[in-house]
Amino acid sequence: MRGKRKQFITEIGKLSYDFDFSLEKKIYGYVSMEYPKNSNLKIPENLKFTTYTEWKNYVQKKYIGSNAQQLENFLHYLTAILKRRKPQNENLKMMVSAVVAFVFSLLANLFIEINDILKRENIFAIFIVEWFLIFGVFFIMVYYFEQSIRFFTQNDMEDNMLKDYIKVIEDMLNRKQ
């Protein structure tokens, strides 16, 4: 259900406001240096802006023909998207943090127990294997943690894009009124 609702909201943006969220995210990610300049982003060269003012001019030109009512409706659309994202992002951050902490504590307890058993049994070869396992699991956890951080920074970039879009549209709306 949630996927269909998100798709519906995305379609409204495309059809009603000429706002393709995924394309705009790539454009904004490029100008805000979230994506490397040499990455294979599928955006036209003329939309690969290097400064915020170039991006802002692009947005203004895109919506310059809109009247005050259209801008106000678009502003409401952007604000609604941003409001919907906030609780989801905060809940997800708390959940991922709790899961990471829980898994780390389980692994730490498991390795402490294994280490105690190996010390009692005085099995040196298994002790070495255990340390290789500890390092392997540690690197897997670091990778998982890094992916979580990347996910959250991606969400922050999308929120910043929406906030900047809102600011530009508000400025345009204020000039029209």
How many residues are given for the chain?
177
Q: Which of 38-47, 111-120, 154-163 reaches the highest mean pLDDT?
A: 154-163
Q: Alpha helix locations (H) across the chain?
A: 2-17, 21-31, 52-63, 68-121, 124-176
What residue numbers bound the domain in which 83 lies? 2-176
| Segment 39-48 mean pLDDT | 81
Please compute, for residue 175, the number of CA atoms within 13 A of its CA located in the half-sphere on the CB side.
11
Give dist(CA 58, CA 61) in Å, integer. 5
Whether residue 152 is predicted with pLDDT greater than 70 in this model: the reply is no
Give dist(CA 42, CA 58) in Å, integer. 18
C-alpha torsion angle, residues 95, 99, 105, 106 (rounded to 10): 150
CA 3 to mean position of chain CA atoms: 17
Structure-token match 């259900």, residue found: 1
Number of domains in the chain: 1
Whether residue 106 is predicted with pLDDT greater than 70 in this model: the reply is yes
pTM above 0.75, yes or no: no
Yes or no: say if 49 and 27 are a contact pair by the CB < 8 Å rule. yes
Yes or no: say if 60 and 40 are a contact pair by the CB < 8 Å rule. no
